[in-house]
């Protein structure tokens, strides 16, 4: 079964079923077991905000998820920055024991997403603001094949507890349309993937607005695609839920004149986008242990 060929509302439920039924049993870094398959792809075509990849299989706190995205794009790496958006799911990755092990300041997660996006370097004194470089290249040379944000820095990955699960963001421009391919090295299907797909879909909308292009396709490439054994009961519940249509997500009219993605970064999530026709199943707490 080619999951990306299914209707958009069927893809995530099919992914859950695929990994549950076909995943190979593995031992992971947490010394627990999971079921995993290698490389699956989700694909969503933008239709004026309809069929947006915000799964209704369980209720997601989409404004907090958007806050996590803004935190990354602002270059922040602190728990305090996440708490400003009501995000608490990183707290276990910055305990006093972890801070001491990696010699990090209190409440700092180290060179995680925000540092890689806004201050990427490979041990030199020079750093690159990848967000602004990509935005500028899309405006000046949309035909280029260099519209790439690299999130995996091998040097930094050994000095943080939570190394980035998303490793590459590649924009593709053709005509007046903009697409985004997201590569993810480690994909916690019931836990993190719904948040990641939603956040990257929103990122595509924001970058398209800032570069005056039209959002087209989001392609989410999942490499080590897994379900942890402690999540199996919750996955079995999710698999019994009926498939419902995806909602519509649009940028707020007040952002229509934005010409720089940084204009989004000081806004509250609810000032950036609206959600219509989201009819999710009830919230279901999923144990998360991904690293």
Neighbours of 88 (CB within 10 A): 11
Residue 128 φ then ψ, to 5°: -120, 130
**Which residue do the tokens 């290698």 mark?**
38
Residue 273 φ then ψ, to 5°: -145, 165
Superfamily, domain 3-276: Thymidylate synthase/dCMP hydroxymethylase domain (3.30.572.10)
Per-residue pLDDT of 225-269, as tens digits, reads 999 999 999 999 999 999 999 999 999 999 999 999 999 999 999
- DSSP assignment of the chain equals --GGGS-HHHHHHHHHHHHHHHPEEEE-TTSSEEEEEEEEEEEEE-BTTBT-S---SS---HHHHHHHHHHHHTT--BHHHHHTTT--TTGGGS-HHHHHHTT--TTB--SSHHHHHHSB-SSSS--B-HHHHHHHHHHH-TT-S--EEE---HHHHTT-SS--SEEEEEEEEETTEEEEEEEEEEEETTTTHHHHHHHHHHHHHHHHHHTT-EEEEEEEEEEEEEEEGGGHHHHHHHHTSPP----EEEE-GGGTT--SGGGGTTS-GGGTEEEES--PPPP--------
pLDDT of residue 288: 81
CA distance 83 to 97: 20
- Compute the residue count for the chain: 291
| Whether 57 contacts 281, CB under 8 Å | yes
Q: Rounding to the nearest 10 degrees, give the CA dihedral for residues 57, 59, 64, 67.
A: 30
pLDDT of residue 30: 64
HSE of 252, CA atoms in CB hemisphere, 13 A? 12
Q: Computed from CA positions of residues 218, 173, 163, 107, in that sequence, does the dihedral angle turn out positive or negative?
A: negative
In the chain, how long is the greatest CA-to-CA distance? Answer: 53
Q: Map out the domains of the chain as residue ranges.
A: 3-276
Residue 112 annotated in active site: no
Q: For the chain, which ranges sit under pLDDT 50?
A: 290
CA distance 260 to 202: 15
| Whether 207 contacts 179, CB under 8 Å | no
pLDDT of residue 290: 47
HSE of 82, CA atoms in CB hemisphere, 13 A? 20
Q: Is 278 left (phi over 0), alpha (psi -120 to 50) or beta?
A: beta
> Strands 148-150 and 33-45: what pairing?
unpaired
Q: Which of 69, 79, 163, 165 is catalytic?
A: 165
| Whether 284 contacts 56, CB under 8 Å | no
């Amino acid at each position: 079964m080619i999951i990306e060929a299914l209707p958009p509302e069927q893809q995530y439920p099919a992914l859950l079923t695929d990994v549950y039924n076909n995943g190979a049993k593995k031992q992971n870094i947490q010394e627990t077991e999971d079921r995993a398959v290698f490389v699956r792809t989700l694909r969503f075509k933008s239709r004026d905000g309809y069929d947006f990849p915000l799964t209704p299989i369980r209720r997601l706190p989409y404004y907090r998820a958007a806050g996590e995205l803004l935190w990354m794009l602002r270059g922040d790496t602190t728990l305090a920055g996440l708490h400003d958006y009501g995000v608490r799911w990183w707290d276990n990755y910055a305990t006093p024991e972890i801070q001491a092990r990696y010699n990090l300041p209190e409440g700092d997660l180290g060179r995680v997403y925000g540092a890689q996006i806004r201050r990427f370097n490979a041990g030199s004194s020079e750093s690159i603001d990848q967000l602004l470089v990509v935005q500028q290249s899309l405006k000046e040379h949309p035909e280029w094949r260099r519209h790439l944000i690299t999130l995996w820095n091998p040097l930094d990955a050994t000095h943080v507890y939570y190394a980035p699960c998303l490793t590459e963001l590649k924009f593709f421009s053709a005509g007046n349309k903009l697409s985004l391919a997201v590569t993810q090295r480690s994909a916690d299907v019931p836990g993190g993937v719904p948040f990641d797909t939603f956040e990257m879909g929103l990122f595509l909308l924001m970058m398209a607005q800032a570069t005056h292009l039209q959002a087209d396709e989001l392609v989410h490439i999942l490499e080590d695609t897994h379900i942890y054994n402690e999540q199996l009961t919750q996955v079995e519940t999710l698999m019994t839920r009926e498939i419902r249509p995806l909602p519509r997500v649009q940028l707020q009219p007040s952002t229509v004149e934005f010409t720089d993605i940084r204009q989004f970064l000081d806004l509250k999530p609810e000032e950036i986008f609206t959600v219509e026709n989201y009819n999710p199943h009830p919230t279901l707490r999923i144990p998360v242990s991904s690293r």
